[in-house]
Structure formats: structure tokens, C-alpha cells
Amino acid sequence: MRSSEYINKDEVAIIGGGPAGMQTALVLSARGFSVRIYEQKEQLGGHLKGWHHLFPHGVAASDLLGALKEQVLARAIPLHLGQTVDHLQKVGEGWELWQGETVVGRAGVVVLANGFALFDARRKEEYGYGLYPSVLTSADLEAVFRKERPWPFGPDCAAPQIGFVHCVGSRDLKCGSPHCSKLCCVTAVKQAMAVKAFFPEAQVYCFYMDLRMHGLEYEELYRKAQVDYGVRFIRGRLSEAAPGQGKRLHVKAEDTLQGRPLHLQLDMLVLMSGMVPTFVLEQQERAVFFKEPVFGSGFVPVQGFLAAGSVVQQKGLFASGACKGPATLPEVFADAAAVACEVEQYLKSLKAVAHA
Amino acid sequence: MEKSAWFVWPFMLGFMFALAVLLLRYLWWLRSLLRRPSSRLLSRMFSKHSLLAVREIFSEGLLHLRIYKRNRRLGFMHMSLALGWFMMIVGGKFETWFHSGQFLHGTWYAVFFRYFEPQTVGGWAGTFWLHYMDFGLLLVLTGLALAIVKRIRKKVLGIHSTTRHTLVNRVALTFLWMIFPLRLVAEALTFGQHGGGGFLTGALGRCCFTSGTLAGLELPFWWAYSLSLGAFFVVLPFSRYLHIPTEMVLILLRHWGLQAAEDLQPEKALQAFEIHACSSCGLCLDVCPAIKDHPFQSAYFLRALRSGKGWESLASTCLSCGACEEACPINLGLEKLRMAARGKIHEKHHAVYSYLPTVGPVETSKVDVLLFTGCMGRLKPATTKALKDLFEEAGLSWVHLDEQESICCGRPLALAGRASEASALREHNRSLIKGQQARMLVTTCPICLKQFRDDYRLELPVYHHSEVLWSCLSSGSLKREKGTACFSYHDPCELGRKSTCYQAPRELLQSCGTLLSLEREQADALCCGNSLGSLSLSLSERQALTSRTLKVLEVPGAQSIVTSCPLCQHNLARQSSLPVKDLAEVLAVTGLPEQQGQRKAALAAVQEL
């Protein structure tokens, strides 16, 4: 029988080294707790690594990531890079972190910060992702901006026709993703403007269901895209993308405001893939497994109010950031700080009990 | 008639009543035929068709062989009830004839014969009839016992669902169940008091009813027997038991070449007989993929049509997967009836297709294949691409008729009961197809296939791509080597049950990998849940169906699920944890001999090193 004595009750393990994980670690570390980050990739950063610049002000993503990493290094937070954790085992009041048959860590508190995955756009086969090279996802387009992949049309194309499809795998009951991914609307606006900055002659269309510009200065950005950049917003879903003239795509859609069908020949089609869970929690008695999500899997459920970080039915297990559901970067940072406070409260309450 | 024999009157009145109502109803249903009898019908009436009908009445009305083939215990239950009763009716006639030397008697005489002639007379022949009649009664009682068990513990009879009956049907059922035990006791009492009887009634009488104190019970039991018979006959024409005579007439009419109308006429001609020939046996329940979600199964749909209430929603919710029609022991044209009902619902709605002439013809050239991928094909461009690659490989030339613009084949509208709109679409497609010079029309969509084959009257043959690919493999124009992939195959309703194409897809998969066997496949396959057939099933109900179907398909060892309908694929792929592919996609990428050759060469190179 293992004793819980060998677990340092004050230590916090953070699973995931993206913005949520780093920020939670930084706040806890600043408040005097010992934290460790377990990241399955070889580098910190999560999805932020793949971004070129950020809405609404166009700050370079690498600047933000660099600043975060610098702080993590400055605080000498222990990092376990390239380390996957596939389940947790409860030992006494604390946890063991496991990968397969091996214990890879121990902690009094575990914070899940595994973030989100992008909806697999191949599931909407009618949009032709994976079939036609000129169909990209929003993440692919960021890679183009970062010069990690080429534009899908030739250099001779000075005035490309470009389409953005909103809500691909979001608000789609049939795909098992009923939620709104909430940041794709403004991402499309940002990307449309960026494309226009690269190709001023380009004609850019955004196909949307309705635009949700909820964040600070998002609405202003949307107006700017229309007025200053001439991006055309068309309310209607795409019905299909098929091979068109030459290397172009033949896109069929409906303009629901004008009530007429649309046929377009496009040089590039960008699918705004929604956010989906990376894992689903399988809770057993004194163990928590991270399983592959299945159709209709939801994000990590938390206790009580939505802003809370304590995972349902699990003492000493918290969740931070976009693993609880779609969130923008400012929301993730705010949430991470809040969850760090919750963790602190929890640890203090344990101590109070121990003293009593 | 002596005073004591007045007890026959309840039976006689009920029987005469049932006969009169039946006669009136049948005459009413046949009114148009009686007014203008078709010459075809008359010529068939006096031909071998009538004999064939009698044979079918015997095998299905009495022996219930189709039910027996599906489920032996259930078949035996139906058979013992029907055959036993029939034996008693026939035997009763012969027995009275034998005893009295007269053929004609009042109907009651044979029914209550034992009361009037309790003594065994007539040597061995009389004994034979006694035992024969007892055997008939025993058979019925066995069936009755099974029927009671079925109501209490349906699993004993190998079924999961039984029809929930309405009040009038439950009343009729109660009277029916009372008839035969009452007859047994009444006869046993008579034999116990007066001696004689067969192996069942006589033995029961001798062991239990010889006491003189029981003499007073004899007549009341005969009264009870007559009353329950009479009551049963009174409710018969208004309950599901109307199926007993109606099924026989239906079989005759069918053999005489009568066909059900396209529009809904539940009180007219063959359709009326079909609707009233349903016994609510419940075989359509267990096969229905939606049995857990919705009570729209054919037994309930037909019952609603009989009562004239609530059939609209039942008709439009059904998935039209065809499983119930496949299972129906009396081969009712359920799909056609459902479409007729949908047509009635949409009678007043009309759509306009004035834009259709703008869809232009594709350039004409002499080709092998005219490819039609349909609306659903647009959801699955990978299938179309794979198929074109395979055509190329097999050396088949093709024109893709609906590559740019398309007109729906018309089947979704036909399934919605909108026959005239469907035919408007068909007209346009037909002229587009006629403008082409191809050897065959090939479609990747079984929904289109069914429509092209059944309703287009085309001059060129129509194939599903699985059939063409299989013939390419058999002729050697496509070559595949068996790989290690393991597939489970989903039979689309429209390709399987509706077009009876089961073999070609299986041969194709076996040619390049291993095909796993499933709990429910071929004619018993479940619907993917996204059938165009249902007009009103909700998304969550559909998703529940899909997950049940996936449970059948996700067998251990399966690496991918393969199907041959773009709609099934589209739907299953959304919810499946395994990849879901079309046959063409599988064939295009697996088991290519040159690929395997390359692999072998690479392996050999590695081994040399």
C-alpha cells in the first residue's frame, strides 16, 4: 500500500503548456507555490505557436509567446516537455500522474490546461478539405502568414478570389458540435484583412451564419474590414466546393439576405474550423483517464458556476482555460488567474484542516 | 328446436351479423370492380391463378409458413390457432354429414354437435371423427397457450415487441381466448354426464365431470360457449380479426391481377383489403430500426388507416427503410401504401420547377459510362474522384452528367408522396440522359438507382457503381490483390432491401480484404438513421438510430466501415469512431497489385542489405 506521505501536498502539476497552463503556473508561482508543467509537445506555447498575429490589434503572436516563456524561465518553473499524461491516480489527498505503466509525476493538486483541438475539417467532405489543395483551414492560413507553407495559388495571381467559411464544425448539431467556438468570427475578419494587406486587389468573401463580435474592439474591426478593406460579408452557408475552371474551385452558396443562389470561382477557400475537446474525462473510483473524444463529447465539466475551475466530482483537480470550452486569449488569461486563486484557497483549506 | 337448445341463438345472431357486415363491407370495397369488371380479372378468375391463390391461402392463411420461416415458435402459434380451428370447421361438417346422412344443416348444428349427439355411434369412423375433432381442439388450445405466454413473456416466443392493442381488439381477444376453453369444458361436461368422447374431451369428462351434482352445469357452459362465440363474431368486423376472412380475399384478388392504387383510398379496391388484412402480428415491430423511439411501425400505421385517425404523422415519420415490408408475412405493399398516404398529406402543396429548363445538357460523345452522382454525391466528392480513377484504370470512358449542375432524380419527392413533382424532375433528367450516347447509366447513389430503374423507363441499362466495379474485377479489367484490411459493410436500405443488391459490394470487399460478418446485415440490416424516407423524425432520434447502427458495424477487428451510399456514408462518418468509406474509395487505394509489387520489391531490397 502506497502512502500518501511521499506526495508533496503543496505541489501543483499543470498538464498543458499553452497560454492557460503557463499563466496558471505563473500566478501560482508568484504566490509562492511550487508548480511543474507537463507538456506533451517538445515546446511550450500550444496553439499560440501556430499564430502569426493576434486580433484585435495585430500584435505578433511570437511576441506574446516570447514574453510568457521568458517569465516561465525567469521563475525557473520545472518543465517536463515531450511528456504525455494519460491518466491520474488518486493517492491519499494527492495525485499520481501516469503515462501507460509509468508514474511520471506526483502532486497535491492537478490543473488541467490541455486546451482544445481544431475540428477535423475533412469531416465536412463537401467543402473538399484534403481533396483540393486550395482549401485551407484557418490554422493553415496562419502557417501561410508565418511563411511555413506557400499560398495555394501561383505568384501570377495578383487579384485572387478568396472565400472564408465561418462555423465549420461549430454550431453544427449534425456534427455533434452544438457550441459556438466564438473566436472564429473575429479570426476570419482578422485573416480577411491580412489577406487584403498581402493582395490589395484580392476579392474576399466571408460566408457567415451570423457574426458574433462580442469582444472588446471586435465590432470596430468588423466595420474596418468592410469599410477600409472591402471584405464582402455574405450571410449564407456554403453548400459545396468542387473543382472549377483551371486550378480554381467552384463554390456554391446562397445569399440568404438577397435570397438568391451564388456561384463563385475561388482561388482559395479558408475553413474556420471550430474548437473541439482534445480529450474526454473518464472518471473512475480514484482515477481519471483522458480518452479520445467520441461523437458529441463535451469539454471538461466544472463544478457550479461556469467561471469556476474545480472539475466535477474530483477534489484537488482543476481545469483552466479552453479545455472547459471555447475562449479567447484575454479570457484564458483571466480564467487562469482565477483558477490559480481557487487552487490557492483549496491548498489553504487543506492546511487548516491539518492544523486543526 | 327444443327449449334447451335456445343457447345456440347468441352464436347464430353473432355469426349472421358478422356475415352481413362482411358482405356489405366487401361489396362496398369492390364497388368499382363490380360496376366495371376488368376483362383481365375475369380471365384470370377461371385459370390456374385461382388454384395458386388457394394454395397460398392454405400455406399462409392456415399454415403461416412465412412466419414459421422467420420464427418457428411464433409460426407454430399462428399455425396451431388457424389450422386447428380450420380442422374443427371442416371436421364438424363431415361429422354431421356422417351422423345424419344429410349434408346441409343449420350452421349451429355442427358447432354444438356434441351437445345434440353426445353418444359415440358409427363404429371406427365415428371414433375417428371424435378423436380428429379433439385433436383440432388440442391444437387450438396449444396455440392459445402460446398466445397467452406471448402476452406475458414475449421473449419465450423469440420476439422483443408485441403490438399494443386498442380496447376493441382487447375485447375481441378476450372473447376469442374464452371460446375454446369453454368448448372443452362444455364438451367434457356432456361426455362426463352421458359417456363417450374423444381422447381429450372424453378423458376430461370421465375424470372430472361424472358426478351427478355437476349435471346442472352442462347447459350453462354451452350457453357460455355460444355467448363468447357470438360476442366474438359481433366484434370481428370491427377488430383486427377482420384479417381472417380479408386475407383470404386479398390473396385471391392479388392472384387475379388486382393492384393497389397509387393514391390513398383506404375504403376502396385492393388497398382496402390490404389495410384490413393486417393481423397486427407484430413481425414488423422487431425489425424496425426505430422501434425504441417511435410507434410508427406498419402494424400501427395500418391500424390508424383503418380507424382513419392519426395516420398522417405515422406515415411521415417512418424511415421507409423497407424492413417491415421485407418481414411482412402476407407481403403487404407497405411502402406503396405509405407513399400514397404521404401523397394525401401533401395533396394541396405544389412546388414549381420553372427554372429547370435552364440546366443545360452536357456535351455529347460516345462513351461507355454516363455517370450520375446525384445530389448526395455532391457531399462526397472523394467517392466521385475515386470512381473516375477506377474507370480510368479499367479503361472505361465516361461523361459525368451532373458534374456542374444537376437536377434531382426525383426519389426524395417520390418518397415524400409528391408524385407529380417527382415526375416533373424525371422528365427533365430523362431528356438530358436521352441526349447522351452511352452504353450504360451508372450512379453512385442507390437512391437515384432505385428511381432510374423503377420509374424512368430508360433505353439503356442502369447500374450501381458497385455492380460495374465488380464486373470489371470479374472480367479482369481491374485487378486487386487481397490485402490485410478488415471491413465491416453497411447495407444501404435503398441498395439492399429496395434493389436487392447484396453480392457485388461483398465480392468487391472480399477481393481486396477481409469482410467481417455482422449481427444484422443484408435484408436485416439497420437503417443508417438519415434516410430521406422520414419526413419528420427529429435529429436526436436520428442520431440515436445512427449510434445503434454503428454498434452493429463497429465489430472487433474492423478497421473501417464501408458502405455504398453517399447519404449513409455521410451520416455514419459524422458519428463513427472508425473511418467510413465508400466502396470506390476502398478499391481505389487498397490492394493495388503494383503497390504491393513495390512493397515486395522494397522488402526484398531491405532483406538483401
The string of pLDDT tens digits covering residues B500-520 is 999 999 999 999 999 999 999
Interchain pair B378, A242: CB under 8 A = yes
Band of residue B102 on the pLDDT scale cut at 50, 70, 90: confident
Tens-place pLDDT, residues B378-432: 899 999 999 999 999 999 999 999 888 888 999 999 998 888 889 989 998 998 8
Report the DSSP beta bridge partners of residue B581.
B562
pLDDT digits (tens, 9 = 90+) for B245-267: 999 999 999 999 999 998 999 99
Q: Do B379 and A126 touch (CB under 8 A)?
A: yes
Q: Going from the N-terminus, what domains does chain A have, and what CATH number goes with each? A: 4-115+278-355 (3.50.50.60), 121-274 (3.50.50.60)
Of B385, B539, B576, the CB nearest to A174: B539
Q: How far apart are CA A171 and CA A185, in angstroms?
A: 12
Lowest mean pLDDT among A199-213, A301-315, B477-491, B543-557: A301-315
CB-nearest partner of A294 from B382, B404, B577: B577
Q: Which of B476, B482, B502, B484 is nearest to B564 (CA)?
A: B502
For the stretch B28-38, pLDDT in tens is: 999 988 888 78
Does A123 contact B574 at a Cβ distance shorter than 8 Å? yes
Nearest chain A residue to B580 by CA distance is: A123
Residue reference for cell 491580412: A194
CA angle at residue B294 from A174 to B332, to 5 degrees? 115
Question: What pLDDT does residue B604 have?
Answer: 53
Q: Which helix (H) or strand (E) holds A281?
A: strand A280-284
On the question of pLDDT at A70 being above 70, the answer is yes
CB B200 within 8 A of CB B191: no
Q: How far is B539 from chain A (nearest CA, A)?
A: 7
Q: Minimum mean pLDDT among A141-150, A251-260, B110-119, B283-292: which range? A: B110-119
d(CA B373, CA B360): 17
Gap between the Cα atoms of B600 and A258, Å rounded: 59
Across the beta sheet with B580-582, what order do the strands follow? B514-515, B486-489, B560-563, B580-582
Closest to A21 (Cα-Cα) out of A1, A59, A48: A48
Q: How far apart are the first and last CA of chain B?
A: 110
Strand segments, DSSP code E, in B429-586 are 437-443, 462-464, 486-489, 514-515, 560-563, 580-582
Order of strands across the sheet that contains B462-464: B398-400, B366-372, B437-443, B462-464
Residue B3 has pLDDT above 80, yes or no: no
Q: In terms of C-beta density within 10 A (0-12 exposed, 13-18 middle, 19 or more buried), how is residue B416 classed? A: buried
H or E element at residue A208: strand A203-208
Do the Cβ atoms of B379 and A176 come within 8 Å?
Answer: no
B544 to chain A, closest Cα gap in Å: 12
Mean pLDDT score, A106-120: 95
Asked if B378's CB is within 8 angstroms of A239's CB, the reply is yes
Residue B594 has pLDDT above 80, yes or no: no
Q: Which residue of B has its CA nearest to A119?
A: B574
- Minimum CA–CA partner of A251 in chain B: B404
Query: Which residues share a beta bridge with A96?
Result: A89, A106
Using a CB-CB distance cutoff of 8 angstroms, which residues of chain B are in contact with residue A240?
A: 378-379, 381
| Dmax (CA) of chain A | 78
pLDDT number for residue B274: 96
**Cα(B81)–Cα(B95) distance, rounded to whole angstroms?**
21
Confidence of residue A305 (pLDDT cuts 50, 70, 90): low
Residue A202: which region, alpha, beta or left (left: phi > 0; alpha: psi -120 to 50)? beta
Torsion angles phi and psi, residue B461, rounded to 5: -70, 150
Give me A278's grid cell.
482534445
Mean pLDDT of chain A: 93
Which pLDDT score, from 0 to 100, does residue A93 have?
86
**Mean of the per-residue pLDDT values of chain B:** 90
Q: Residue B135: which of B182, B91, B73 has the closest Cα?
A: B91
B400 at A interface, C-beta within 8 A: no
Contacts of A97 (CB under 8 A, 6+ apart): A13, A15, A38, A85, A88, A103, A104, A105, A106, A107, A110
For residue B359, pLDDT beyond 70: no
Q: Is B67 exposed, middle or buried (0-12, 13-18, 19+ CB in 10 A)?
A: buried
Residue A91 has pLDDT above 50, yes or no: yes
Cβ distance of A126 and B382 shorter than 8 Å: no
Pairing mode, if any, of strands A317-319 and A109-112? parallel
Question: Counting beta carbons within 10 angstroms of the beta carbon of residue A94, is it exposed (0 to 12), middle (13 to 18) or buried (19 or more)?
Answer: buried
Question: What secondary structure letter does DSSP report for A229?
Answer: T
In terms of DSSP bridges, do strands A12-15 and A109-112 run parallel, antiparallel, or are they unpaired? parallel
Helices (H), B153-214: 167-194, 201-208
**Residue-range domains of chain B with CATH:** 66-238 (no CATH), 356-473 (3.40.50), 485-593 (3.40.50)
Report chain A residues whose CB lies below 8 A from the CB of B404.
250
In the stretch 558-577 of chain B, residues with CB closer than 8 A to chain A read: 570, 573-577
B575 contact residues in A (CB cutoff 8 A): 176, 295-296
Number of H helices, E strands in chain A: 6, 22
A277 Cα to chain B: minimum distance (Å): 15
Q: Please tell me which of the candidates B381, B404, B575 has its beta carbon nearest to residue A176.
A: B575
* Nearest one of B218, B217, B191, B194 to B202, comparing CA atoms: B191
Which of B543, B545, B554 to substitute to test the interface with A, most A CBs within 10 Å? B543
Cell readout for B453 is 430503374
The pLDDT assigned to B606 comes to 47
A155 pLDDT higher than 60: yes
Residues of B within 8 A of A174 (CB-CB) are: 539, 574
Q: Is B378 on the interface with A (CB under 8 A)?
A: yes
Query: What residue in B sits closest to A124 (Cα-Cα)?
Result: B379
Task: Give the nearest partner residue to B574 out of A128, A131, A295, using CB atoms.
Answer: A295
Chain-chain contact of B382 with A239 (C-beta, under 8 angstroms): no
Contacts of B378 in chain A (CB under 8 A): 126, 239-240, 242
Q: Cβ B574–A175 below 8 Å, yes or no?
A: yes
Structure-block grid coordinates of residue B155: 421473449
User: Which of chain A's residues have a Cβ under 8 Å away from the Cβ of B576?
Assistant: 295
Separation in Å, CA of B379 to nearest CA in chain A: 4
Residue B583 is predicted with a pLDDT of 96
Q: CA of B294 to nearest chain A CA: how many angstroms apart? A: 20
ipTM given for this complex: 0.85
Q: Does B294 touch chain A (CB under 8 A)?
A: no
- Percentage with pLDDT > 90 across chain B: 68
Q: Is the pLDDT of residue B602 over 60?
A: no
Higher-pLDDT residue of B163 and A20 is A20
DSSP code, position B603: H
Is the separation of the CB atoms in A238 and A127 below 8 Å? yes
The per-residue pLDDT for B120 is: 61
Q: Say how far apart CA B150 and CA B170 lie, in whole Å.
A: 14
- Which amino acid is residue A291, in one-letter code? K
